[in-house]
Structure 1
Amino acid sequence: MYGRRLATVERIIALVSPNSDDAQSVLQKWASENDLPVEMVPVGDTIDSVYEPDGETLGVTLGGDGTYLEGVRQFSPYGIPILGVNAGSLAFLAGVSPSDLPAALTETVTGGATIDRRQQLHVRAPGVDCTGINDVMIEHEPPEDPVDRKISRLQVFIDEEYIGEYEGSGVAVSTPTGSTGVSLSAGGPVHLPMNNDTLQLLGLHTHSMGVRPVVFDSDSTVEIVATGGGSLLVDGGRAHTTLDDNAVIRVSGADTQAFVVSTSYDDDFFTSIAEKLGWAPRNDRHDSGPEALLTDRNTQSSDLLSRARRVAAEAARAAGETLRETHGTIEDVTIKSDAADIVTAADYRSNDIITTVLEEEYPEFGIRSEESDPVAGSSKFTWVIDPLDGTGNYAHHNPNYSISIALLENETPVMGVVYAPETDELFSAIEGAGATVNGTPLSTTDRSSLAECMLLSGYDPNGEFIAHCYESTRGVRSLGSSALNLCYLARGSADAVWEYDTYPWDVAAGVVIAREAGATVTTADGTPYELGQETAKRNELLGSNGSIHQALVTHLEAEQSLQLAD
């Protein structure tokens, strides 16, 4: 789940504590000003009656950590991301203050926040079957007679492998979000909780030097046999039970994860830990770090393009997540020009996510998108977007579709990002800096004989290109996404690409990626390909590894001569 997709939030559900009236007023005022419906649900009530599965929902908790933990319990099963507001006296999890709430919400719904996954745990024991986001504490019950045994003896197994006997105050099984203080006091590490899918076993005040913390995968199961009974506590009291002699407790990773919204108004993890645990003072994070070592991005073109690529990649992944979730579902299909030229609701939703993010990050840039009216900018840069290239494939549950985002400088493509949601492949390039897929450098093939080459064809109305080139090559394939065709050329998955006609949004990003991988991109007669703005005019494209380019130009010229003769 990507924070950029929150640019399409359609409603807010707020879980509110009894003493959060002021914070509720702030939230309601902001929601009214931004035309977003908000439902206030008192802690203790369920959100089931107000939750709607369609559209993006943002969960907000107004209270302390108890309210936040209840929000995790209720929002997580629906995959609703949670923004925690500290309307109580003390909170470690709810990080936004009520005074910062309007700004934090604005940042969130314009795609500026991030969403982190948080691992939860599932606990099964006599009288308990629940999930938690922090920890499970299994400790010895104080004896009634002061001369009786005052320590616990616990037998511990992980995936049925015997770990050993823990003798002392007890054990804790924690998530990465669980108490760092408990981990440190038991000789354990500090876990960075974001997107960390592990669990940890800790001995509490153990009487053996050989008992050490154990970190294990969340797919594993810990079994603890409470010899002599004990007390079980989940998340500081969310669930509690007394254990009989030899009771068995099983703890594993939960099926559902929590999704936590982080804004610039939250302290980052290590700043928060430093403050709460009394570590040495740290410089303000806004005045330090890698960003501070870079020259202002507005004065350095390379920095600007690098940041633009990062923002475009985040927007593409956020939109791609939404496309992937709705792929294969029944959608309304609208025909634009002919039966093959269609648009779905997914096109518009993807376009909304991408354009909202880009406008928020770069309000001075122009935008040209296949699915919306052009937006004039005040700078020399213009975004060119195809929010869903291969809509026909998408509508028919075919995985060959993509998202294409390019940046033009004075009408010349200088940066391109193409994302394939079904394979999670992110192709990208900056002019003069090479092309990559998921960080791995791309390069075209070096085949020089047409007979050894495989070609990709875009729209070919009469099938003439396929008919003319099929027998002289190893085949011609038609995948249905111009952007992916150019990326596959860049990766060496094909030796050449032919497009009968193109629109700027179809190929702008792919042209940058292909050229930076070493491809030659021209028109059918071999003249350099130019993007152009005339969307109604036929604009053919021929891309190859370079070695076979002249041979292909000759083939196309021969084909055109035959057409004229006919």
Structure 2
Amino acid sequence: MHGRRLATTDEIIAVASPDTDGPLERLRAWAVDRGIGFTAVAIGEDVGDVYEESRATLGVTIGGDGTFLEGIKTFAPRGIPLLGINAGTLAFLARVEVENLEAALDEVIRGRATVDSRQQIHVETAGLEATGINDLTVEHVPPENPFDRKVTRLEVFADGEYVGEFEGTGLAVSTPTGSTGISLSADGPVHYPVNNHTLQIVPLHTHRMGVRPLVVAPTTDIRIVTRGTASALVDGGRAHTVLDEGTVIEVTGADTRAHVVRTSYDDPFFTAITNKLNWGARDVDESGPTAMLEDEPPNDERELGVVERARDIAVEAARSAGEPLQELHGQIESVDYKTDKSDIVTEADQQADRIITTVVRNEFPEHSIFSEESTFVDGDSPYTWVIDPLDGTGNFAHGNPNYSVSIALLEDGRPVVGVVHVPETDETFHAIAGEAAYEGETRIETTDRETLDESMLLSGYDPDGSFLAHYYAQARGVRRLGSAALNLCYLASGSADAVWEYDTYPWDVAAGVVIARTAGATVTDETGDPYVVEFDADRRKGLLGSNGPLHPALLEHLRQDGAGLADD
């Protein structure tokens, strides 16, 4: 989950430990002051009655790491991001101190926080099925008779392959988040947990010096077979059972990951393990390269021009808006939604628009905003944002992956920034006019083909099929993707040599025009005049884009045959 998405938070559900009434009331007052809904629930209480899936919800825990783990158990299955406020003593997961509560939350709703994707484990065995963010431990059950055997034997398999027999006091299967707990005390390695999706198998007090921890992929099917009675505990006993000899325990990475919110008020990871675990690679008060890096401002606070900063913000906003689009797109063909496609498409449009416009208003409150899905915002600035939160609505409604998020910035009416994000392929095209065009970090340019018989053409709306009929036989093909923004990006990247759009709205093509032109394309209207983005929602006009060398021939055919020309 992208942190910019948190800017649209409109509901907070808090899980608070006992004796935290003061911080809880501060949190409630903060939410009320900002018009954000607020509900507090007790630890272990089901939030099903108060959580509305349609609302942008933030989970907050107030307490120590135990409360935070309960919050993960509550919020992770619903995909709710979680911020931990430390009202305990030695918290490692909840890393925002109470005195920074309001400041950290202000950062969250400005979209300035980050969201870590944390791997969880899923455990299934006799009498137990549970998910945890830290670890599973399988340990020897102490015998009643002190002379009986005090070790346990566990056989381990990974994806069906026999790993071996572990003899000792037990075994831990931990996530990177759990690597600083039991597995660390058993000489397992510390894993940097941020967006680290691995599992490790750590022997506990092994009786063989050569047995070392193993790191495996989260998709690995780990099977543990007990060779004696053993106790199985998930996340320190939040779920537990006692197993008979010969019991099989199935362990793998959970499908659902936890979303942990981090702010600049959190202790950084290596500072936290230095302070709390006596990490030996640096002293608590050490000043040097690490301290210098921590003192640097975040990237979006460094000295950037308006246009460069706008490009970075637009990329973040587009990727954030793409997340709910992708989630809803995955539901579009489900049984529950087949009869309500129009509703889900409307929800997708509105969610994406809300994320983008909120981010833009937070970062550039003086700029104007012209979006397909919301009311025009007239700012006191030469800059205007042109937004299509979902270009390719028809494709989206039918489960087709060819849809995109399109964001452009105009300066005094001239397009200067273009960003187009494709959620299903994770492509992000972006450009600043006069500089270079990119897909991600890879520079893109148009082709240099000069003849139609070598060229691939893209067509938008073609009401009578004349463009297709005229050019199909002359070119290597004419394709229709159903997204004008995508058409222009594929022209820019060399995946096509020319694009024809019978009629366009400004939000359809503003970003794509910047990207295509910056990559070397020629973009005109149907008469050959340079294409101009106009703020007139009632007037649509044609667009012809090409790699340049093909443009005269394409334009001549359009003039001669009137193929698909838009009416004045």
Using the size of structure 1 for normalisation, the TM-score is 0.89
User: Aligned runs of 1:90-169 on 2, under 5 Å?
Assistant: 90-169=90-169
Deviation per residue, 1:130-182 (Å, 9 max, x gap): 12111122233344444544333332222232222223332211011104254
Residue of structure 2 aligned with 1:497, choices 492, 496, 499: 499
- Structure 2 residue 233 is the aligned partner of structure 1 residue 228: no
Quote the residue 1:215 is aligned against: 215
Residues 248 and 26 of structure 1: is their aligned pair in 2 closer, same or farther, counting only changes over 3 Å?
Answer: same
- Structure 2 residue 262 is the aligned partner of structure 1 residue 288: no
Residues 219 and 560 of structure 1: is their aligned pair in 2 closer, same or farther, counting only changes over 3 Å?
Answer: closer
How far did 1:273 drift? Answer: 1.7
User: Aligned runs of 1:12-27 on 2, under 5 Å?
Assistant: 12-27=12-27
Deviation per residue, 1:471-494 (Å, 9 max, x gap): 433443333321111011122222
- Are the equivalent residues in 1 in contact too, given 2:13–2:40 (CA < 8 A)? yes
How far did 1:272 drift? Answer: 1.6
Deviation per residue, 1:30-59 (Å, 9 max, x gap): 222122222221113222222223232222
Distance 1:141 1:66 in 2: 24
Query: Which residues of structure 2 form unaligned runs of 5+?
Result: none
- Are the equivalent residues in 2 in contact too, given 1:331–1:345 (CA < 8 A)? no
Residues 530 and 238 of structure 1: is their aligned pair in 2 closer, same or farther, counting only changes over 3 Å?
Answer: same
- Are the equivalent residues in 1 in contact too, given 2:457–2:496 (CA < 8 A)? yes
Distance 1:347 1:243 in 2: 51
Residue 14 of structure 1 aligns to a residue whose secondary structure is strand
Residues 200 and 524 of structure 1: is their aligned pair in 2 closer, same or farther, counting only changes over 3 Å?
Answer: same
Residue of structure 1 aligned with 2:323, choices 321, 325, 340: 321
Distance 2:510 2:500 in 1: 15
Residues 42 and 446 of structure 1: is their aligned pair in 2 closer, same or farther, counting only changes over 3 Å?
Answer: same
Distance 2:488 2:538 in 1: 22
User: Aligned runs of 1:390-539 on 2, under 5 Å?
Assistant: 390-539=392-541
Residues 41 and 286 of structure 1: is their aligned pair in 2 closer, same or farther, counting only changes over 3 Å?
Answer: farther
How far did 1:214 drift? Answer: 0.3
Residues 157 and 541 of structure 1: is their aligned pair in 2 closer, same or farther, counting only changes over 3 Å?
Answer: same
- Are the equivalent residues in 1 in contact too, given 2:503–2:540 (CA < 8 A)? yes
Distance 1:332 1:232 in 2: 45
Quote the residue 1:199 is aligned against: 199
Bigger mean CA deviation after superposition, 353-362 or 230-239? 230-239
Residues 250 and 324 of structure 1: is their aligned pair in 2 closer, same or farther, counting only changes over 3 Å?
Answer: closer
Quote the residue 1:256 is aligned against: 256
How far did 1:85 drift? Answer: 1.8
How far did 1:537 drift? Answer: 4.4
How far did 1:251 drift? Answer: 1.9
Residues 136 and 520 of structure 1: is their aligned pair in 2 closer, same or farther, counting only changes over 3 Å?
Answer: same
Distance 2:121 2:299 in 1: 41
Bigger mean CA deviation after superposition, 554-563 or 305-314? 554-563
Residue 35 of structure 2 aligns to a residue whose secondary structure is coil
Distance 2:298 2:257 in 1: 35
Quote the residue 1:549 is aligned against: 551
| Paired amino acid for 2:377 | V
| Paired amino acid for 1:28 | R
Using the size of structure 2 for normalisation, the TM-score is 0.88
- Are the equivalent residues in 2 in contact too, given 1:331–1:344 (CA < 8 A)? no
| Paired amino acid for 1:360 | N
Query: Which residues of structure 1 form unaligned runs of 5+?
Result: 335-342
Distance 2:47 2:535 in 1: 50
Aligned residues: 553
Residue of structure 2 aligned with 1:373, choices 372, 375, 392: 375
Residue 52 of structure 1 aligns to a residue whose secondary structure is coil
Distance 2:347 2:263 in 1: 29
Residues 365 and 562 of structure 1: is their aligned pair in 2 closer, same or farther, counting only changes over 3 Å?
Answer: closer
Quote the residue 2:269 is aligned against: 269
**Cα-Cα RMSD:** 3.0
How far did 1:460 drift? Answer: 4.1
Residue 373 of structure 1 aligns to a residue whose secondary structure is coil
Deviation per residue, 1:166-207 (Å, 9 max, x gap): 233322110111042544444433212122221100112323
Quote the residue 1:39 is aligned against: 39
Bigger mean CA deviation after superposition, 176-185 or 508-517? 176-185
Quote the residue 1:384 is aligned against: 386
- Are the equivalent residues in 2 in contact too, given 1:371–1:386 (CA < 8 A)? yes
- Are the equivalent residues in 1 in contact too, given 2:179–2:189 (CA < 8 A)? no
Residue 511 of structure 2 aligns to a residue whose secondary structure is helix
Bigger mean CA deviation after superposition, 507-516 or 362-371? 362-371
| Paired amino acid for 1:490 | A
- Are the equivalent residues in 2 in contact too, given 1:344–1:395 (CA < 8 A)? no
Distance 1:381 1:322 in 2: 27
How far did 1:254 drift? Answer: 2.0
Residues 7 and 255 of structure 1: is their aligned pair in 2 closer, same or farther, counting only changes over 3 Å?
Answer: same
Distance 1:127 1:19 in 2: 34
Distance 2:394 2:379 in 1: 31
Distance 2:492 2:401 in 1: 20
Quote the residue 1:81 is aligned against: 81
Residue 368 of structure 1 aligns to a residue whose secondary structure is strand
Residues 210 and 276 of structure 1: is their aligned pair in 2 closer, same or farther, counting only changes over 3 Å?
Answer: same
| Paired amino acid for 1:57 | T
How far did 1:325 drift? Answer: 2.3
Distance 1:241 1:110 in 2: 44
Residues 293 and 422 of structure 1: is their aligned pair in 2 closer, same or farther, counting only changes over 3 Å?
Answer: closer
Residues 357 and 471 of structure 1: is their aligned pair in 2 closer, same or farther, counting only changes over 3 Å?
Answer: same
How far did 1:292 drift? Answer: 5.3
Bigger mean CA deviation after superposition, 391-400 or 107-116? 391-400
